[in-house]
Each structure stands twice: as structure tokens, then as C-alpha cells.
Copies of this chain bind each other. A is one copy, B any other.
């Protein structure tokens, strides 16, 4: 989509400029001036005359010149009626501020439909409605009605809330060298959504890092497609509200967007290698670090400090965030000790504590000596303003060291009044500094994750993988025994089995497992006993110990009603189990060999926004107690799966646990992608649960599972 004339217009017409300086149209006119816009600006309102000695046209038609962008600072219905006039100035792009559309309910929804129909009919692309416009600092275009012009910088910011944008403009004004390439308020994102803007910013050369505030994602497929076609490693940081259910409700009432399950959003962002910030403060911290280009080269951090206590507090935070503190080499250690002499008892662990009376020269000595250390990913220089601390001089020492050091040095000058001057000094020299430990460590962790994920599971690789239909190949391999026509035959069989239960809510255990078998997932066979007498007849086919399971139309958690009896060793015990299950309403029972292995829970569900979502976690009766699961959106590579699943307790099983063999993640991945492929083929299925999937050394089998209909 070509948005050049929208975002870099050579001329702008403002419809709805007024003599009242507090009205939106006047504020926009003022902001264009303040930002320093050099293009032609036309004022339009129905009274005509002049405003601040500038001619006011009665209509667009009166201008009789070409205009690139029309700004509508008039109510919604008036805007709709005026769109057709845009052709008189050959304009195809508009910004629409008016509220009162879909965010207000049914009637607004209808009005928004009318707006988009009219725009399409007239060949117009617009930003909004219910937005506050945008700023392009390079070309000095400011179409917002905010209090202040926006600072220039390299951050591209897309916001579903105008207020969050206004807040960020205000925050950046308090900084030096921190600002926007673009700030774009997308409002109801009726024609242009976050994906369109993202596509524009990914290609924009002024933009080094992209921030997004979102309440929902309009079109996940489009967004993925855009990332796939833009293998740029430009970092993207998102702040998404609605993490908790009450939060979600508020978000719905705010924008009328459809909010999906928040864990699924996190999975989506993670698989797109988009950093998700947890709070506004963390969001701003991460943006700043990327904006100044101060990215740690590894997780190994070296800390220098003039305050032991502060050093330890920082260490606690770094370790909590999976960063590593490195110890300097013996050679460097000795150099430092020699330099300080016996008089000063510096501690050369990490943190290196150069004590409260450290001078700027002391800082310089230690920094210079540690710069030569090879494995340092970043250096943190902590300073507390003590009696003789040379704050300004130390800041200069640090800045000089940074100027010839390829990895970042982060000054943390703790305090307020004493350190304000140095904070400004650092920013002037394009260095990020901090006055408190705050969000620094978690920001670093998320940045490292983005970098590492980029290496291991990069967008490029992923794009290639999807391109090659790698998933189909994987599934094909899993079914290597079956020829293509057999796969087709099996799918037909699955379809038939499903159709048997069409009128019910779910497929019973035995046929659920049969369907999974047909799709290529092994399971431990079930034998069905309808009467007690069958036990003596069929017993020879059983290999004890076995498990007996209830047969019921309505039970979800079998163990909750004691519907599973384990460790049955002979026919007598089996008969007792049969009786016991019958008493609980079982129509006969299923019998299954009892085997040993790691119990895992896997499942897939259909999400209204994101399509098929896969889940995995510890299984058995603990699955629900622990709620320690991870989510992935289909399709996903084995690398993505491994990376994600290692954030659950399954990681510990992988390492070998309590006498059981180490678990190979492949044996979870394979059945899980097959479940996804079943979901893709049969839209009538809403979800499939397998609990447990039993993982043995070189195989996995379904022990229990259920297919549920939409």
C-alpha cells in the first residue's frame, strides 16, 4: 500500500478550522506551524473569511489546486458528506478525527460502515476515525491536536490510544535525543490497521525501532504476512493491554475490538519475535535502549560500583532476569589490585566495588582495565552520590570510554537532584542512563531474548520454513508408512467417524483415540467390556497390569469421579473394578494396558482470531493444579516449540528427573503438529485434549483424549 502522500504530503487542507483556538481544527493548524511544516496548508470552513490573516476557503472545491492530504476536523456525519469533495483537489488520503463510530455501539457501527463505503466509492484511504492524527518529524508534518509538537528521533510509534501517544510525546519532551520518526494514532483502524502502519515503518529509513500500543490485533494473518515479507531485523516492541479478564472487559468497552485470550496474544508476539513489554515504564526503557542503539552483545554483564549495597541489589535483579555476572580474568584482577594499592580494599568480584570514596580517576582506571575483557556483553557503572563523589567528572570519564568501546556502557547514577545534570549529559552524547535500578534488568532480558530468538528461530528461517510447506513435509515424514492415497483414505475414515457423533458435543474416548491413530498418532489400545462375563472370555488378550476406565457421555475429568482404576493385576481385580465403575453409572468399561513414562498434557483449540492454538504442559491429574502450560499458534517449527516449552516444568523432565529417562521433546512436538493438522482439515472440531500423552524413551502414545465439536 502506498502511503507516501498520506504521511509525507506536499500540501494539506484542514476542513473545520475555526476562530476558537481550542477547537481541534485550530489546534492542528497551530501544530503544523509549530512543528515547522514547509508545505502548502489550506483552511476550510463554511463561514469563509480569514483566520490569522490566512484565507479560509468555503469548500475544498474552491481551492482549485491539487492537495495531497485532507484533514477532517468536523463531526462524523459531516465528514461522510464531504468525502466526495476530495476529488475536486485530486486528494486520495484523509485523516478523520471524529468519534461516535463503532466504539459507541450498534448505531456507530452502521455509521462506520457508511464511512468506509463512501471512502471506497471515492477511492480514498483514511487514517481513523476516532484518532488524534499523526506526526512525521522528518518532514515536520504534525496533524495531531496535542499540546506540544513532538520531538524528533528514530522511534516509530503506532498507538490504538491517542492518550498513550500524548503521554509519550510528553515524556520524550523531558529527554534529549529521544523522539519520534513517526507517531501514528490509528483510532478505530477502519481502513489502516497496525499491520499497514507496521509495513510502512519497517521500510522507513528514519525509523530504527518500532513501538506499538495495542488493545487487539485487527488481522493476525496480515501482520504475520507483512513480517514474513520484511525480513528486516528492526526491533518491534508492543504494549498490549487487557492481560487480565477484567482488564479485557474494559478494553472491549473502549474500542469495541474483539479481545482474544491474552496467553494466545503472548504466543503470537513471541512467534513473531515481537517483544511484549509488561508495563509502560518497561516499554519506554526498551524503546530508549534500541533508540540509542545500546544493545548488550550477550547476557554477560560486568558491574562496577562505588556502593556495595546498591551493587548487590542490582545483582539480585540481573540474576532474577536470567542475566549472568561475569568475573574478570586473573590478569585484570591483578592489574586492578596493583593500581589501587594495598591501602584501598576494593572487592574484585562481580560487582567490582571501588568503595564510597571512589574518584572519577578511580572509575576511569577500573573502566579502562575492564574494557579489555573479552566476554563482556555490557558494562554497568553504578554511582551513588556520596560526600566526595565526582559526579560530573565520572560522567565524562564514562562517555569517553564509551566513545571507543563497541559494547554498551550503562551508567546508573542513583538519586535525583545531584545526578540530573549527568543524565542530560549522557543523553546529549546519545547514551542511555538510569537514576534507579528500576526496569533496566527486565528490559535487558527481553532485548537479549529478542536477539537470541532472532538467531535461533529467525523470521527469515521461519518464512523459508513456511514457504517450503515444511510442516506438510514433517507430517508426511511422521506418516512415512502411508502413501499419499492412504493418507487420503484415512482422512475419509476420520470424516466418517466424526460424522457419527455430529449431533453430540464430543467424540467418545475409543473413537477419539481411533481418529488420532488414523491421523498418525500412536495410542495404547483400548478393549471395551460391555458385561462382566466378557472379562473371562477376553482376558487372554490382556497383559496385566491394566487400567479400567468409566464409559460415560458426560464426564470430563475421569479421576474426579474415581472413574479410572489403576494397577489391576488379575481378572478378579478387574471384575471388582467393573462393578465399582458400574455403580458410578458406567456402561461397561474400557480396559487398557498400564504403562510407565512421562505424563504430558497436549491439546489444540480453535481461536476466533488466531486460528489453531496448541498447548503443552505437565500432564496427569496435576495438569490443572499446576496450570503450567505454554501456547503456540499453528504452524510452528520444532525450534519454536523447543524454545517455548522450555519455559514450563517440562524442561526439568528433559534433563532427566527422579529415575526416569530424559524426555525427548520431539515426541511431544510430533503428535502436537498432527493434532494441529487434524484441526486444519476438520473445521467441525473445536478442540482436542490429550491427557496424558505418555512419553517413553523412543516413542509417545495417547493414553486418554477427547475430540470436542464446535
A residues lining the B interface (CB < 8 Å)? 22, 24, 27, 99-100, 103-104, 132, 145-148, 159-164, 166-167, 170-175, 213, 215, 239, 241-247, 249-251, 253-255, 279-281, 306-313, 315-317, 319-320, 325, 345, 347, 349-351, 353, 356, 384-389, 414-419, 436-438, 545, 557, 559-562, 566-567, 569-570, 573, 618, 621-622, 624-626, 649, 652-653, 657-659
Q: Note all chain B residues with C-beta closer than 8 A to A250.
A: 308, 311-312, 315, 347, 349-351, 353
Given contacts A100-B345, A309-B161, A560-B658, contact A166 B279 (CB under 8 A): no
Is A414 touching B167 in the complex (CB atoms < 8 A)?
A: yes
In the assembly, how many copies of this chain are there? 2
A-B contacts besides A167-B310, A170-B416, 13 pairs, CB < 8 Å: A103-B345, A132-B387, A166-B384, A167-B414, A170-B415, A170-B418, A170-B419, A239-B313, A241-B312, A242-B312, A247-B313, A625-B652, A625-B657
Q: Note all chain B residues with C-beta closer than 8 A to A281.
A: 436-438
- Closest B residue by C-beta to A312: B241
Given contacts A312-B254, A659-B561, contact A164 B307 (CB under 8 A): yes
Q: Note all chain B residues with C-beta closer than 8 A to A351.
A: 250
State in angstroms the CA–CA spacing of A418 and B436 once bound together: 22
Is A241 touching B27 in the complex (CB atoms < 8 A)?
A: no
Q: Note all chain B residues with C-beta closer than 8 A to A99.
A: 345
State in angstroms the CA–CA spacing of A27 and B339 once bound together: 28
Q: Note all chain B residues with C-beta closer than 8 A to A624.
A: 658
Q: Note all chain B residues with C-beta closer than 8 A to A573.
A: 569
Query: Closest Cβ of chain B: how far from A559's Cβ, in Å?
Result: 5
Given contacts A566-B567, A649-B625, contact A242 B316 (CB under 8 A): yes
Query: Closest Cβ of chain B: how far from A241's Cβ, in Å?
Result: 4
Q: Note all chain B residues with C-beta closer than 8 A to A566.
A: 567
Option from B22, B244, B307, B436 in Cβ contact (under 8 Å) with A388: B22
State in angstroms the CA–CA spacing of A576 and B306 once bound together: 67
Q: Note all chain B residues with C-beta closer than 8 A to A243.
A: 316, 320
- Closest B residue by C-beta to A419: B170
7 nearest interchain CB pairs? A161-B309, A163-B307, A174-B416, A170-B415, A254-B308, A567-B567, A241-B312
Query: Closest Cβ of chain B: how far from A43's Cβ, in Å?
Result: 18
State in angstroms the CA–CA spacing of A215 and B310 once bound together: 11
Q: Note all chain B residues with C-beta closer than 8 A to A562.
A: 659
